[in-house]
Structure 1
Amino acid sequence: MIAPTPGLDPALEQVYRSAVYEIDCGDGRLIRRQIDRIDAQADAVLGQCGCQRSWSIVTPCNPHSVALDAAENRRRLLIMRADLLTAAWHFLDAVNYPATGISSSDWIEPGFCILDQEPEQILGLAVRYQQNAVVFGRLGDAPHLLAVDFKI
């Protein structure tokens, strides 16, 4: 049995755990990651894309898991992209969707795979964009959820 993520609503946690986190590594290379699953091939591709130690998935869309309209989510995505560029963080485009597939749900969230930033930095970004959780992984390990503490 997988231990729950402290500070995260159990129903939302189940949704996040069952999602697919797809990372666009360029040149047609898409990798799909899931929580608590080690994937050496995906890690190798991330390494080829410049990842040296860790990666995170963060979306600015649908803050606190409350659906926004497509235009507002696009606006938030552009702002986050500008923030990442300003910070000079290395990132790739990503999209999160249910494991049942993209065509099966309207709950598809574009975001970013941010490379080689520490969890504290990623959680700070998640607070700014009002996200409940982020995905964090280290090369060679299974990715896991980090709940966002809005007191930081």
Structure 2
Amino acid sequence: MPIVRKTRWTLVGAAFAILILGLGTYGYLTRRAGLAGPSSNSIMVITPYWFNGTWVFDDPGVGLKREPFVAGVPEMIDVLAKDIPDAKEGFRLLFSANRFPGTQKTLTWIRGDSLGNYYRLDDPPMEGWICPAMFKYYKTPPKALHVRAERLRRS
């Protein structure tokens, strides 16, 4: 009988170890891919507008009010919104870690610093810093951010 009891506990222990290892691996892979987060694997939408000399946006869903774009990103937004009439009154900006139909530009991750992350736009060549507010949308910085600017349709 002692052999059966020992075998049973060995099997239970092995099953538990496999479960923990599997969950740990899943968590590691999703964090590394930037997929685990508040809005993982989806297209997010914000509405930038011009305020006090720079682009800002509000997102009450994640607790942001007049969150400014800084350090090169306002110039990137100027490029994205250049063909949108009255863009400074507000426009729709879609962004995702995954390419989506109608992607206008792709920002490529360059490096992080203690607070935010630097991204590069290739055409035209630009670099900008995205502040820690990005972590309201992603747990880890995506290797690429696919974006599209659209006219805000008012009814």
Common topology (TM > 0.5): no
- Greater length-normalized contact order (CA 8 Å, ≥ 6 residues apart): 1
- Look at both structures and tell me which one has the larger radius of gyration over its CA atoms: 2
